């Protein structure tokens, strides 16, 4: 539990971490704004921190792909609506544990000889991926598999359908072109924001990222 008491007349705070107390005096005001803002929202290489989903809430939506139950319910409705419009969505990636994200970020990407900053443009560090919440899903067009995980997905009937209809099912494109988090454009990566819990998870990404420049 963390308690934060803020003085009224000047910025000073008493942080209580369990039994440890740390007094932050007026010195904290001298931090450059960028550093103080980053420490407030705890971003790492542009990505916000995310907890792992409750394992009991994860359900299988496709062999090898699990998402949060609420995401699964919304996906079911959305894919049924898509099918009735002649669109066939495929599920490419859902929940990822912090450990799996660690392998992707530190092992797969290092084999490609990418620096951490280059990797962070296309993949989140472990503990910082929306996929760990169970609310993120990577979608594809099953009639155009060559566009899976590619920018060209934006030219498929599935993407055009999603752009028009996904908000009805509470799905939002997390990393549109030129997003303030500085993450590469990912037309395939959508997050579910149709419950109070999901909204809370993405509060920072929604409200804070636009106020900070990378
Ligand atoms: Zn993704």
Residue 38 belongs to a domain: no
Give distance in angstroms: CA of 83 to centre of ligand 1.
22
Residue 6 belongs to a domain: yes
pLDDT of residue 210: 53
Domain enclosing residue 169, as ranges: 55-211
Residue 170: CATH number of its domain: 3.30.1380.10
pLDDT over 50 (residue 38): no
26 lies in the same domain as 61: no
Helix (H) / strand (E) containing 69: helix 69-84
pLDDT over 60 (residue 163): yes
16 lies in the same domain as 108: no
Give distance in angstroms: CA of 190 to centre of ligand 1.
7
87 lies in the same domain as 156: yes
Give distance in angstroms: CA of 4 to centre of ligand 1.
34
- Exposed (0-12), middle (13-18) or buried (19+): which is 33, by Cβ within 10 Å? exposed
Give distance in angstroms: CA of 47 to centre of ligand 1.
13
Residue 46 belongs to a domain: no
Residue 35 belongs to a domain: no
108 lies in the same domain as 171: yes
> 96-121 pLDDT, tens per residue?
999 999 998 898 877 888 888 888 88
Give distance in angstroms: CA of 144 to centre of ligand 1.
18
Give distance in angstroms: CA of 138 to centre of ligand 1.
5
Residue 37 belongs to a domain: no
181 lies in the same domain as 144: yes
Query: Which of these, 188, 100, 86, lies nearest to 139 by C-alpha position?
Result: 188
Give distance in angstroms: CA of 131 to centre of ligand 1.
6
Which is more confidently placed, 103 or 32? 103
Residue 89 belongs to a domain: yes
Domain count across the chain: 2
Residue 54 has what DSSP assignment? P
Give distance in angstroms: CA of 39 to centre of ligand 1.
25
> 53-87 pLDDT, tens per residue?
999 999 999 999 999 999 999 999 999 999 999 99
Residue 132 belongs to a domain: yes
179 lies in the same domain as 93: yes
23 lies in the same domain as 69: no
Inter-residue contact 130 to 192 (CB < 8 Å): no
Give distance in angstroms: CA of 52 to centre of ligand 1.
15
Residue 42 belongs to a domain: no
CA dist., res. 16 & res. 5, Å (int): 9
CA dist., res. 188 & res. 175, Å (int): 9
């Amino acid at each position: 539990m963390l308690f934060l008491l803020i003085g009224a007349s000047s910025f000073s705070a008493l942080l209580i971490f369990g039994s440890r107390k740390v007094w932050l005096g007026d010195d904290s005001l001298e931090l450059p704004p960028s550093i103080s803002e980053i420490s407030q929202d705890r971003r790492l290489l542009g990505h916000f921190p995310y907890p792992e989903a409750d394992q009991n809430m994860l359900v299988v939506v496709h062999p090898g792909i699990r998402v949060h139950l609420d995401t699964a319910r919304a996906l079911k409705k959305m894919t049924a609506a898509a099918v009735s419009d002649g669109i066939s969505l495929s599920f490419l990636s859902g929940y990822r544990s912090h450990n799996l994200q660690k392998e992707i970020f530190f092992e797969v990407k290092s084999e490609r000889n990418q620096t951490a900053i280059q990797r962070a443009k296309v993949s989140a560090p472990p503990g910082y991926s929306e996929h760990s919440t169970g609310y993120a899903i990577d979608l594809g067009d099953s009639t155009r598999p060559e566009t899976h995980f590619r920018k060209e997905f934006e030219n498929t009937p599935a993407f055009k359908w999603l752009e028009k209809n996904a908000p009805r099912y509470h799905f939002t494109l997390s990393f549109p072109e030129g997003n303030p988090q500085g993450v590469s454009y990912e037309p395939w990566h959508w997050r579910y924001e149709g419950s109070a819990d999901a909204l809370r998870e993405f509060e920072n990404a929604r409200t804070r990222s636009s106020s900070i420049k990378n």
